[in-house]
Structure 1
Amino acid sequence: MEYTELEVWKESRVLVNLIYQTSKSFPKEETYGLTSQIRRCSVSIPSNIAEGCGRRTSADTIQFLHVSRGSLYELETQLYVALDQNYLNEENFNQLKVQILKCKKLINGFIKYYKNNN
């Protein structure tokens, strides 16, 4: 199966798009700070899933899936910072948290699948 067909990759792209839409409203002084960091972090999630799927060994794939999961936790923390700074309202924050949780569950399931079947 091609990585572009994986639900975990597709849902992480949804998250990236939500992050880009949401971060457009962040203050201009955060362009090279939190805005850039949040965007780069979100992009790393599907990127590491793709790179892991392109590796030739299960161990390498699992390692990149762990990196992707770590980026999800990093992104979640950065969104708490954005909330604390009033760059996000509760509604936007909660919408992003729902998508993050969905991605966490999918990545955890994919890691478990790889560990049990490869």
Structure 2
Amino acid sequence: MHKVEDLIIWKKSIELAKAVYLVCEKLPQNEKFGLVSQIKRSVISIPSNIAEGAGRNSNKEFLRFLSIANGSSYELMTQIVLCVELNLIQQSEILEIVKLINEIQKMNYAFHQKFKSNI
């Protein structure tokens, strides 16, 4: 079991969620139940799965939830890029978000490498 509050990957994913929620406020109202809803589900999935995995009793289970969080990060990246491609937001508005997503993905990969050898 890992103390989630001590995990930098979890802290970064909370930071990411806050940034994404702020960007979602700028998206058109008619996307509220479409793309915005999906973006919010994806971004919330990342810290939620990290937390759930951290609360499990084995590194194997932790890795499984980290994998789910990683999938959600790729899903989020796709949705954010789509917003730019649809001209719903500007590229400049997502630079920090993309940076955080990439950082979280790298941290996730590092966790996998660390725990894979211990399973």
TM-score normalised by the shorter chain: which range applies? over 0.9
SS at match of 1:87: coil
Is the deviation greater in 83-92 or in 11-20?
83-92
Normalising to structure 1: TM-score of the pair? 0.94
Can you list the C-alpha shifts for 1:67-112, whole angstroms capped at 9, x where unaligned? 0000000000001111111122011122211111111111111122
Q: Secondary structure at the match of 2:117?
A: helix
The aligned counterpart of 1:45 is 46
The list of structure 1 runs, each at least 4 consecutive aligned residues, that deviate by more than 3 angstroms after superposition, is none
Which consecutive unaligned segments of at least 5 residues does structure 1 have? none
Q: TM-score, normalised by structure 2?
A: 0.93
Count matched residues. 118
Deviates more, 1:82-91 or 1:17-26: 82-91
Give the secondary structure class of the aligned counterpart of 2:94: helix
Instruction: For 2:117 and 2:19, locate their aligned partners in 1 and report how far apart those are by CA, in whole Å.
Output: 32
RMSD, matched Cα:
1.1
Please list, as runs of the form range in 1=range in 2, the aligned pairs for 1:1-118 lying within 5 A after superposition.
1-118=2-119
Task: In structure 2, give the amino acid aligned to 1:43.
Answer: I
Q: Deviations for 1:24-80, whole angstroms, at most 9, x for unmatched residues?
A: 010001111111110110000000001111111222111110000000000000011
2:77 partner amino acid: E
